[in-house]
Amino acid sequence: MLKWKAGSNERIRNANEGQLKDVKEKTMLMKKLARNWKKISVGDKFTLPTRDEDDSRPMDSREQEELILSLERTEAEQSVLWRRVVGGLEFCYAAFLLYSTFQQALFPWELRYHAYFMEDMDSSMVIFADLIAVSACALAIEGLLHNSKYHRQWIWYSCFVALLLAVFWLYYMLRMPRFRWDVIWLPLGPLSGAGICLYVDHLLTESSEEVKKLRSYMNGTHGVAFKHKQAD
């Protein structure tokens, strides 16, 4: 009888130890998952980074301010850089179109891509179309580089002008006996340039808005903390 009771107590003790071990393992796992969730919270776009991978404590206000200032400075530099790069490429294309205009005015139909339209168009129409293309590029450049609240409207004007120009060139290209793919850039060039400028402006503006949201979030958090401190 005593042996049976001793064996029963031993089994109960072993079972309790096993359960306690499982609880400890699960607790450690949950703590580890909680730490990882605090470090990389993919659901919260405004989660501020921690000091390092082994420290889950949030950054203090001074470090947050330095981080946001660094983000604002980097975003401003990248915005100026890419606007100048894309604007420079658009300017080069506009310079080429301007050269094409003067070439047609001084030596009509000498350029091959103009000579295709010799039978269907007057020389003045080609010159006018090239000047319209130059103006579309100028509007896109103005909208991309001009720092104002309504700068994107200039790019939209460029898209509208380039679209009308594309319809004009495609109309005469479809009247040819054989469609000339080597001059497809005449209708699509200004339109593509305006579209690229609009896309780049959208990306850079979106990036700037994200940094502003982060700044607003930080200021709001500090304001609430300051009010609580005053109330205490």
Is residue 228 a part of any domain in this protein?
no
Residue numbers of the domain that contains 216 = 79-220
* Domain total in the chain: 1
DSSP 8-state symbol, 107: S
| DSSP alpha helix (H) spans, the chain | 2-39, 61-106, 112-115, 123-145, 151-174, 185-231
Report CA-CA distances (Å) from 128 to 96, 140, 165, 187: 15, 19, 10, 14
Backbone angles phi, psi at 58, to 5 degrees: -70, 160
* Mean pLDDT within 11-37: 51
Is residue 41 a part of any domain in this protein?
no
pLDDT score of 46 = 47
Is residue 36 a part of any domain in this protein?
no
pLDDT score of 229 = 44
Buried b / exposed e along 69-85 (16+ C-beta atoms within 10 A): eeeeeebeeebeebbee
| 20-34, 134-148, 178-192, range with the lowest pLDDT | 20-34
pLDDT score of 150 = 82
Is residue 95 a part of any domain in this protein?
yes
Helix, strand or coil, per DSSP, at residue 44: coil
* Mean pLDDT within 152-168: 96
Rounded CA separation 108/72 (Å): 52
In this predicted structure, the answer to whether residue 38 has a pLDDT above a threshold of 90 is no
Backbone angles phi, psi at 189, to 5 degrees: -60, -60
Rounded CA separation 60/50 (Å): 9
Is residue 9 a part of any domain in this protein?
no
Is residue 48 a part of any domain in this protein?
no
Is residue 28 a part of any domain in this protein?
no
- 122-147: per-residue pLDDT in tens? 999 999 999 999 999 999 999 999 87
* Mean pLDDT within 69-73: 85
Is residue 108 a part of any domain in this protein?
yes
